[in-house]
Chain A
Amino acid sequence: MASQNRPLSPHLQIYKPQITSFLSITHRMTGLFLAFGAVLLASWVISATYGPEAFENAQSLLGSWFGKLILLGLTFSLYFHLANGIRHLGWDFGLGFDLTKVQATGIAVLIFAVVLTVLTWFAGYAIVGGY
């Protein structure tokens, strides 16, 4: 069967950008980035088994400006993916399916993710007593 060259995914060229499709692809991208975060989390814990020096290297790497940028991205990705994941689970139960609700919950997810990211980092600096 000549199935080699068939396109598999939606033809993005013919889609008009809209909040629904934007959040859908963002769920996917945050999922991918979080998978990288899982590897980072594993490496962080594993580094501690190599002793204080290795762990403190990991800590200062994560605490550098670049490390913080990654962690900031992961924080946002997690909150977004978590909230949007709950939205997905709602749909699986048949909840919130009509277009106005899909758009309203979509905007709610975005606001939730931004607000919680800011709060988390704010709390982080407050607790740890950084700058």
Chain B
Amino acid sequence: MDMRTPLGRVRGLGSTNDGVKHWWMQRLTGMALIPLTLWFVYSAVQMSEASHAEFTVWVGTQGNPVLLILLIICMFHHGQLGLQVVVEDYIPSESTKMTLLIAIKFAAIVFGTSAVFAVLRLTVGSS
């Protein structure tokens, strides 16, 4: 029979946080970002002098809105996961760390959602 306390049993086994999922999502979003960002650089070069009208046409062109939305989601997800690691590495104080992590998550969701919504506004229902 195991006489050790539950705490004694888990001590030394490492963190109980969700590190594997974090690590995996960082890789997955990173892989998705390879084609998405290359496509975006190609597009952004062409949009560098675009007027509002030209830009709206581009956003609404076959495939572009979906790729843009995918890029936005993957980018903010990947960036948020990355920033989390940086904060965890450099901020020793639990309370400051928590505050920053929450701020980063909120900011990523707010900017990401607003940008996705903007793409929808520029495409759905307009032609």
Tell me which residues across on chain B come within 8 A of A6, comparing CB atoms.
92
Residue interface mask A5-43, B partner, CB < 8 A = 1: 111110000000000000000001001101100110110
We find that the number of chain A residues with CB closer than 8 angstroms to chain B is 40
Q: How far is the CA of A53 from the CA of B72 in the complex (A)?
A: 24
A128 touches B48 (CB 8 A): yes
B52 touches which of A35, A41, A55, A89 (Cβ 8 Å): A55
Instruction: Name A39's closest neighbour in chain B (CB-CB).
Output: B111
Cβ of B90 and Cβ of A9 under 8 Å apart? yes
Interface contact A48-B56, CB-CB below 8 Å: yes
Residues of the B chain whose Cβ atoms lie less than 8 Å from the Cβ of A32? 82-83, 86
The A90-131 residues at the B interface (CB cut-off 8 A) are 92, 120, 123-124, 127-128, 130
A72 to chain B, nearest CB (A): 12
B residues near A39, Cβ cutoff 8 Å: 111
Is B61's beta carbon under 8 Å from chain A? Answer: no
Give the distance to chain B from A49, nearest Cβ to Cβ, in Å.
5
Given known A41-B72, A63-B49, A89-B31, contact A46–B55 (CB-CB < 8 A): no
Q: How large is the interface on B (under 10, 10 to 19, 20 to 34, 35 or more residues)?
A: 35 or more
Judged by a CB distance under 8 angstroms, whether B20 is at the interface is: no
| B111, chain A: closest CB distance, angstroms | 5
Are A49 and B122 in contact, with the CB atoms below 8 A?
A: yes
- Scoring A residues 32 to 76 as 1 if CB is less than 8 Å from chain B, else 0, what string do you get? 101100110110011011011001100100110000000000010
- A48 touching B55, Cβ below 8 Å: yes
* Complex A-B, nearest 10 residue pairs according to Cβ-Cβ distance, in ascending order: A52-B52, A42-B115, A35-B79, A55-B52, A46-B118, A124-B45, A42-B111, A38-B75, A45-B118, A49-B118
Contacts beyond the supplied A41-B72, A78-B37, A92-B27: 19 A-B pairs with Cβ under 8 Å: A5-B92, A8-B89, A35-B83, A38-B75, A39-B111, A42-B112, A42-B114, A45-B119, A48-B56, A52-B52, A55-B51, A78-B41, A82-B37, A82-B38, A85-B33, A89-B31, A120-B41, A128-B46, A128-B49
